[in-house]
Amino acid sequence: MTTLENDILNESNFYFWEFNMRMLLAKKGLLHHIEPPSSQKVDANGMPIVPGDAQWKSADIKALANIARSMSPNLQAMVRSATTAYEAWTTLKTFFMKTNLHNKIRLRKELHEFRLSQGGDLFAHLTTFALLCTEMEGCGDVMSLDEKLVLLLGCLSSEYDAIVKIIENKGDATLLDAQEMLRREYQCQTRTERPKNWHCALLRSRLKECPRNESPSKESAIAVGKSGTKN
């Protein structure tokens, strides 16, 4: 059975792990063991749950085992002394909620200070932007797509002012629309920045690669010449 990245709790993925663990416990009929005690709860078969009886204790140990086994070894010490699944769950939630507040502030600051330098690689910039957004979601700070769009357009260099204006005037542009338009703009810019005599430099480099007293074939020279005429 393949273990997914967020199936194991580590220092930075509690938000995703918590959801996955809830789904796992629900699938096994053990979800009520991590919820606040209540005499009104019933099990998967509709039978009243009686905390403390032998059947409840057996199921609770299973829930606790599922939680502990889904944690990285360096974090398991946090729940080693827990005697119930609910105790382990609340211990983890309390700890990571405090940690997440610090991470939320750090990532928000990092995201708002994130800028594309003049002439920078837009593809790398978009990738880093997506990673920062994912990290924030991992801390429980989920931004709307509109907020992501505003932040993305605001962190671009001045060379993208024209395309940003077009996106703004479009009105109904989504985050995916904006990313695609920016990619096309970047590709156009990189093509126009290519030196006009680049094909001559390519031909000279091929001449250097040829053995002495041997010149490149006529077909090769024609191919280079033709490629130089392309827009």
pLDDT digits (tens, 9 = 90+) for 19-63: 999 999 999 999 989 988 764 466 666 666 666 678 889 999 999
Q: HSE on the CB side for 100, CA within 13 Å?
A: 20
Q: Check: CB of residue 158 under 8 Å from CB of residue 118.
A: yes
Which residue pairs from 209-215 have beta carbons closer than 8 angstroms and sit at least 24 positions apart in sequence? none
pLDDT for the residue numbered 1: 45
DSSP 117: P
226 has a pLDDT exceeding 80:
no
119 Cα distance to chain centroid: 25
pLDDT, residue 49, reads 65
Is the overall model pTM greater than 0.85, yes or no?
Answer: no
Q: What is the mean pLDDT of residues 102-110?
A: 87
Asked if residue 206 lies in contact with residue 142, where contact means CB atoms within 8 angstroms, the answer is: no
In the chain, where the domains are located: 5-99, 116-192, 198-228
Answer yes or no: is pLDDT of 183 > 50: yes
Query: What is the mean predicted confidence (pLDDT) over 203-228?
Result: 51
Token pair of 127 as six digits: 């990738």
CA distance 160 to 61: 58
pLDDT number for residue 128 = 92
Q: For residue 29, give the H/E element and its range.
A: none
What are 29's two structure tokens? Answer: 């009929």
Q: What is the DSSP letter of 8?
A: S
Q: How confident is the model at residue 176 (pLDDT cuts 50, 70, 90)?
A: very high
The answer for residues whose C-beta is within 8 angstroms of residue 21's C-beta and 6 or more apart is 9, 66, 67, 70
Q: Specify the pLDDT at position 137.
A: 81
Residue 132 predicted with pLDDT over 60: yes
Of 51 and 167, the one with more pLDDT: 167
Residue 56 tokens, joined:
């409840």
Position 136, amino acid: M
State whether the Cα torsion 198-200-205-209 is positive or negative: positive
**pLDDT value of residue 35:** 87
With contact defined as beta carbons under 8 Å apart, do 116 and 122 qualify? yes
Residue 75 confidence (pLDDT) above 90: yes
Strand-pairing partners, residue 156, are none
Q: Identify the pLDDT of residue 94.
A: 87
Q: Which pLDDT belongs to residue 82?
A: 94
Among 95-109, 186-200, 216-230, where is mean pLDDT lowest?
Answer: 216-230
Q: Rounded to 5 degrees, what angle do the CA atoms 131, 103, 83 make?
A: 110
Higher per-residue confidence, 2 vs 119: 119
Residues in the chain: 231
- Give CB contacts under 8 A, 24+ apart, made by 75-83: 75/9, 75/10, 75/11
- Of 62-76, 140-154, 183-197, the one with minimum mean pLDDT is 183-197
